[in-house]
Structure 1
């Protein structure tokens, strides 16, 4: 209204500005002689996080802090659920789920296809208007036939993306795959709303890589494609314009925000190195999916809290599309309840938290700007290390070694309780009743073992089977493969259940290069170790598989009659390892919170 007075600018001029030195002096005084350095956090990314940040932090950045400038349309991030389509499946069930989701708050669909030949593109086009619907496709075999069928079904117009990354996914016949990918880029270069070169950066995040590693390794894959895909018919600018990066978002909220912001900065740096115009940098699209690495089968409702934090970090960090994994996806068949909860998390962030209305909420934060800058610098240094080793894919062994060191360090921190997984290694539910069959899950080839919680889970699932067997007095026995290095996890986890005064000296009994197993009958349970070859031979005996069958992969759970397994375990030379002063039964019961 005309007579309404204008609001005066907010001002705190009555307070004297304080410098960083003044704040530091106040911290030292409040600590009463304690070293302020004890308040610093040394993150897994190699970043030293200070207890507070002040205005001067912006002056120390290697690159001036600038907000991410995005158009209003680009700021409208998309809610894009993912649907797995198994081999030999025509995809009708997944397509129907996606169609319903689009009517109930989703903005698109992402189909992860194990078998592109079986996927019914005609049915997809009947259910979803492909020319206007945002649809993504992840494939692990040549994508050319699928893209040709999609272009025909859609009238040569597509919106969404293709994720086909033969370098990161370690696919065979790389040169043949690159030829097919080059043709796909040529066929789709006229589609401004279709990103045909989506990189699987989520691979590194879902295998425990730090934020620094994820950025560096994804950037190395991008550099490879920018070098190898251009041809006489395909310019490097066309390849760059087709790039999208899929990232996995873990629960470390501020780190994940900074990771996405650093990714955009590093992409601009890579384009500069390729002598491409700076105006192309904002064209990069980021597709963020909640991480499988952080998911658990124990106390699974906690996954809802993790994915909410992850989705919010993705949006604040500047993702263009977000995919939330259903909380029970590790053990349950697709169901409407879990789908609805996953779909509604981004919907709540948009409609109730209003996280669509600010382009770059993190801009100007002293802490987040500093963290973004440090992640970008560390990732660029690691990227250069990978490039010096030949770049991707030649440096894949270096990449895998980095990931293995990181994941083993995380497993150790989880075992000692230093790294907390709520409901798994702390605040467990001792009376938890599984809504799934542990026996069937352990036998399943689809059970995801590349997760932070896996060593804890497989031990607790195996011990649950033992106590169930003892209660029912089954006249059978089971051998459960707990995995390499799990004995250390058992030891560290067990020690956390004991008062310090009760912690006995423990004997080394698990040689290098062996795997942990649990032998369980209704009468006893014994923790043992064996070489992978010993376990494989035992599995072949139990399953009656010939020794010369190269296709056989033993499942983690082997069951048979008691006499057969007792004799086989003895024959193949499995050895018991001992926690002195405690029986195996004591250890298992304590780990399950029963004593």
Structure 2
């Protein structure tokens, strides 16, 4: 149009460009003699993150671009857990309702796939038009055949059946089942029949590089072992999807997804497959269990917000946000609605679906994407050199355990912060649940980062409950294998340096940490697994020859019985020179 104003180029030619060296000189001057290296961040992945990045950082990176999702949009898939022997009607009804309230589909985690009522599912969510994901451990062929027996000509969604990552028994049989499933669904372009359980590694505290490297190792196993006369390697690749779990480290989680896509192209190339399959890799991102806490639980709302934003900006094709109270509450409308609406807000109000790969070009993100990709590929090669998965499973689990224990140590020392749990606690918190019932529950997730801090807080809360004092009852709580050492480190952090260095504590190897709570005092103790097992049988009145008995986390009885049993089975008190365990607990709880 003639009357349309011509755009004027925006430039700031009057400002000279500043080099990285010039910025570094200015930083050194502003630090007034302090070492600039003190501003560097050393991450659990072993990376060194600089305090600033400049455009010159991009020049040092390879020309390879991280492929992004082919779509700017993503699916909002609430998760519904269906227990053993449950037909799933309640979960299906909730999913159908959610589709009218902002959800784009549903994801069912099935404990017992054979019991799940697929006919009722098809009635409420027509399978030809509804996007539905399923997670199962066994019986993949019969489950898919039941889905198809509803009369559905084609399925939309995905199946997470990953016997390699989930350590399923009889792997050869499970791989044969997967081949049949791929054959049944290979003409269904909107159904991914082979979703990898990458969330397994994130939910056990794995570093970002471990999560990527171990997922690639699982994918390589399927690409190597699944092809047959009926299934080509290209069909295996086309059926693959990756489920990842996101933690609160915002920029690293964005970079994780971008690095995964980059390495996916490299992996496909290694199997002689076209790289253009890599951008089409669906990534199903879920908020992690590892970062959730029962203490000051509304902070979980903030965690899942940054996690979901990272998933979207990193290029996830579907997201699932967990309710903030899922660790300690049954599904309820309030928390489910908040979880369901979060992706809706990010799409409809924040507009995060308006542009593809908005993270591209960031000096910082491009640099850590490249670093994570390099480190993850090196780890993948190390697993492959150990004969891949599942042969290297022992090494994988051992490395995950070591990293998780390192995080527990940093949390105990205050070096890694969990807001509301080990820092910035709510001292006036009133629990919306029964701590005793939660600690006794077999479903209470003890694999999370916050668990050692939680179990101490919840157990000592029981000690100070008025009703326990009135009844003259006592409790013994199993805290874990290394919890007393973590408690010691947390306690020492509160003391002056000179006193901290002078203190000692005994920490017998191979023992369990327990808390013995009476109306008068709470005492930290040690016990061997055998001691605790015999003690639990006596308190629970379980015969010695009962083979399937699993000692509960929380044991209660009358005070006299508990005192006698603790003495009889030789529990040893936790000792810190100059402080009783009551002093230690009181100081940690801010009562002294």
Q: Indicate the TM-score class for this superposition, using the shorter chain for normalisation.
A: over 0.9
- d(CA) in 2 for partners of 1:471 and 1:445? 23
Q: TM-score, normalised by structure 2?
A: 0.98
What per-residue deviation string (whole Å, max 9, x for no partner) do you get for residues 111-149 of structure 1?
000011111111111111111111100011121111111
Cα distance change on mapping 1:54 and 1:414 into 2, 3 Å: same
3-state SS, counterpart of residue 75 of structure 1: coil
- d(CA) in 2 for partners of 1:390 and 1:550? 36
Equivalence map 1:363-382=2 (5 Å): 363-382=360-379
Cα distance change on mapping 1:9 and 1:70 into 2, 3 Å: farther
8 Å CA contact retained: 1:125, 1:154? no
Aligned twin of 1:233:
230
Q: Comparing 367-376 with 48-57, which one deviates more in the overlay?
A: 48-57
8 Å CA contact retained: 2:505, 2:577? no
8 Å CA contact retained: 1:131, 1:154? no
3-state SS, counterpart of residue 471 of structure 2: coil
Aligned twin of 2:530:
533
- d(CA) in 1 for partners of 2:430 and 2:471? 20
Does residue 64 (structure 1) correspond to residue 63 (structure 2)? The answer is yes
Aligned twin of 1:47:
47
Deviation at 1:540, TM superposition (A): 1.6
Equivalence map 1:440-459=2 (5 Å): 440-459=437-456
Deviation at 1:591, TM superposition (A): 2.0
Q: Comparing 498-507 with 298-307, which one deviates more in the overlay?
A: 498-507
3-state SS, counterpart of residue 6 of structure 1: coil
Does residue 544 (structure 1) correspond to residue 541 (structure 2)? The answer is yes
8 Å CA contact retained: 1:67, 1:364? no
Aligned twin of 2:341:
344
8 Å CA contact retained: 1:483, 1:515? yes
- d(CA) in 2 for partners of 1:267 and 1:70? 12
8 Å CA contact retained: 2:462, 2:468? no
Q: How many residues align?
A: 592
Aligned twin of 1:282:
279
3-state SS, counterpart of residue 115 of structure 2: coil
3-state SS, counterpart of residue 383 of structure 1: helix
Cα distance change on mapping 1:545 and 1:336 into 2, 3 Å: same
Query: Which of 72, 83, 86 matches 1:86?
Result: 83
- d(CA) in 2 for partners of 1:504 and 1:236? 60
- d(CA) in 2 for partners of 1:374 and 1:458? 37
Deviation at 1:592, TM superposition (A): 2.2
- d(CA) in 2 for partners of 1:154 and 1:378? 47
Aligned twin of 2:328:
331
Aligned twin of 2:34:
34
Q: Comparing 14-23 with 45-54, which one deviates more in the overlay?
A: 14-23
- d(CA) in 2 for partners of 1:126 and 1:33? 71
Does residue 586 (structure 1) correspond to residue 587 (structure 2)? The answer is no
Equivalence map 1:50-129=2 (5 Å): 50-61=50-61, 63-64=62-63, 66=65, 68-71=67-70, 74-129=71-126
Aligned twin of 1:13:
13
Deviation at 1:550, TM superposition (A): 2.7
Cα distance change on mapping 1:504 and 1:525 into 2, 3 Å: farther
Deviation at 1:474, TM superposition (A): 2.0
Equivalence map 1:270-419=2 (5 Å): 270-419=267-416
- d(CA) in 1 for partners of 2:300 and 2:579? 34
8 Å CA contact retained: 2:204, 2:400? yes
Deviation at 1:504, TM superposition (A): 7.2
8 Å CA contact retained: 2:69, 2:316? no
What per-residue deviation string (whole Å, max 9, x for no partner) do you get for residues 215-273 of structure 1?
01111000001111110000000000000000010000000000000000111100000
8 Å CA contact retained: 1:430, 1:594? no
8 Å CA contact retained: 1:121, 1:149? yes
Does residue 153 (structure 1) correspond to residue 132 (structure 2)? The answer is no
List alignment gaps of at least 5 residues for structure 1: none
- d(CA) in 1 for partners of 2:148 and 2:14? 65
- d(CA) in 2 for partners of 1:481 and 1:172? 30
Q: Comparing 26-35 with 567-576, which one deviates more in the overlay?
A: 26-35
- d(CA) in 2 for partners of 1:594 and 1:156? 65
Does residue 555 (structure 1) correspond to residue 552 (structure 2)? The answer is yes
- d(CA) in 2 for partners of 1:546 and 1:241? 54
3-state SS, counterpart of residue 489 of structure 1: helix
Aligned twin of 2:194:
197
Q: Comparing 583-592 with 419-428, which one deviates more in the overlay?
A: 583-592
- d(CA) in 2 for partners of 1:414 and 1:449? 15
